[in-house]
Structure 1
Amino acid sequence: MLTMLLVVVIVSAALLLGAAWGLFGKLPKGLEGFLIALAGGALIVSAMEELIRPSIETSGLLPALGLVSAGAVVFTIADTLVDEVWGSDSGGGLLAAITLDGVPENLALGVALIGAGPMAVAALAGSIFLSNLPEAAGGAKSMTDNGRSKGQAFALWAGTAALLAGAAVAGNLLLAGASDAALGLIRCFAAGAVVASLATEVFPKAYREDSYLAGIATAFGLVVAAALSHLGGGGG
């Protein structure tokens, strides 16, 4: 329980720190793009090694891959609707996209904490932390640019942090008694949503902000997460 609470606090704090950074500090575009790409590379490994691969072993190849595809389809449909309502470049659109991405991410994080080793948890939690930090900074700044006060923008991101923390706690507590096969399918659905968000939200933004260095940052993130996964002995 203590490990779960510590991880949830760390991951959710990224949204609060990022929002404060965007509202009250200066955020170099190149650094923002580099960090987003770094996180994206790490999430590729985490999604595969901590969510998908172990689930194939417990739930079977076809069901696991089917749920990965379903997660990607559901996220893409929801993300498209968000872009039509708020606009893909607005702070509100980014906030909604992070929520759509973050709920399955944090559910997966909560599930991953069930019986997982410390390095495996660190790889997934660290990846989510790195992706949330710059995205919250950019989204909060966009909100103030579009007329919201700094207090309103920060309150919205604080509410999102609370929602995502609740998702992680729910994933850990409500699914503690679920079978390995059922947990595997849930992880695969979440992984599909995460992968879709990387393709549509994370990597395009990283490239816009940091150009070709985004490719190097992605590789760095992949290497770091692969090392953590290897030290932790693979998935949970």
Structure 2
Amino acid sequence: MLVIAVICATSGALILGAVWGIYGRFPAKLEGFLVAMAGGALIVSVVAELLEPASQKAALWLVLGAFACGSVTFTAIDTWIDRRVGEDSGGGLLAAIVLDGIPENIALGVVLITVEPIAVLALAGSIFLSNLPEAAGGARGMAQNGWGRGKVLGIWALTAAVLSAAAVLGNQLLSPMATVPLAIIQAFAAGAVVSSLATEVFPKAYKQDQELAGIAVAIGVILAFALHHMSATLSN
């Protein structure tokens, strides 16, 4: 039951964000602020939830190699999307969520096996915090570039389903003892996240809210770090 609840919360954020992006009428500055805040949360996730745990499971060279592969893979896909459908199409944010979300949700599914329920909810909260505004920005970009609302919503719903399946597979097929494969998955996700922050998340946020983007990032870091600290405290 806990697995289903957590998966619904994290993947459901993508659908809620898509609905917000397609039908919502929020000021551009507010959207930029929220996207920047999500980027701040992802900074914490990269280090605390992905790289640090990965470095404890596998050799450093393997972790850094997987990290580099994640960065290169995202950059290649993002560049291809920009050239084919345009930089402001929202496709870059979708690619970021998929490349980050699949390994992240696989890892989340494994974590659900051993961690205390309250600690898992704190981790899920951090993922929710980053997914919601990213999905809103991506969906809005697609809608503004001529994609039909139904098609955009369907794409994000399909993405949520894929990420949910990744969490279920991680929970059912991977053992917490499979440390090296899990470390590679986590490091790959971290590399994809870092590149997405540099090319998609922060540039978009700054373009929409130049004055408060830095403060929004700091707030995101504070909230995500608090959730991470709560998760670590409750799991010990």
- Same fold flag (TM > 0.5): yes
Q: Is 1:116 the counterpart of 2:129 in the alignment?
A: no
Whole-angstrom CA distance in 2 between matches of 1:119 and 1:226: 16
Superposed CA deviations along residues 58-109 of structure 1, whole A, max 9, x for unmatched, are 2132222222122112221222122222212114454344333332333333
Specify the alignment match of 1:233 in structure 2: 232
What residue identity is the alignment partner of 2:127?
Answer: I
Aligned to 1:69: 68
Q: State the alpha-carbon separation in 2 of the partners of residues 73 and 92 from structure 1.
A: 17
Report the CA distance between 1:129 and its aligned residue: 1.9
Is the Cα–Cα contact under 8 Å of residues 39 and 221 in structure 1 kept in the other structure? yes
Take 2:120 and 2:22, find their aligned partners in 1: how far apart are those partners? 30
Letter paired with 2:76: I
Distance 1:31 1:108, change over 3 A: farther
Letter in 1 for 2:146: G
- Shifted more, 37-46 versus 120-129: the winner is 120-129
Q: CA deviation at 1:178?
A: 4.9
Aligned residue number for residue 57 of structure 1: 56
Whether 2:27 is the aligned partner of 1:28: answer yes
Partner of 1:45: 44
Cα distance in 1, alignment partners of residues 176 and 49 from structure 2: 19
Report matched runs for 1:1-236 at 5 Å: 2-118=1-117, 121-176=120-175, 178-233=177-232
Is 2:92–2:200's contact at 8 Å kept on the other side of the alignment?
no
- The structure-2 alpha-carbon separation of the partners of 1:173 and 1:63, relative to structure 1 and needing over 3 Å to count, comes to same
Instruction: Give the residue type in structure 2 aligned to 1:81.
Output: W
The alignment of Structure 1 onto Structure 2 pairs a total of residues equal to 235
Check the 8 A contact 1:75/1:196 in 2, yes or no: yes
CA–CA distance in 1 between the matches of 2:114 and 2:232? 13
Unmatched segments (≥5 aa) in structure 2: none
Query: Which sits farther off after the overlay, 128-137 or 197-206?
Result: 128-137
Q: State percent identity of aligned pairs.
A: 56
- Between the aligned partners of 1:145 and 1:57, the Cα distance in structure 2 is 44
2:22 aligned partner, one-letter code: L
Which deviates the most, 55-64 or 113-122? 113-122
Alpha-carbon distance between aligned partners in 1 of 2:8 and 2:210, rounded to the nearest angstrom:
32
Contact 2:35–2:137 under 8 Å retained in 1: no
Summarize the Cα distance change of 1:185–1:136 in structure 2 as closer, same or farther, 3 Å threshold.
closer
RMSD between aligned residues: 2.4
2-structure distance, mates of 1:57, 1:148 = 44
Q: By how many angstroms is 1:145 displaced?
A: 2.8
Scaled by the length of structure 1, the TM-score of the pair is 0.87
How far apart are the structure 2 equivalents of 1:55 and 1:38?
A: 25
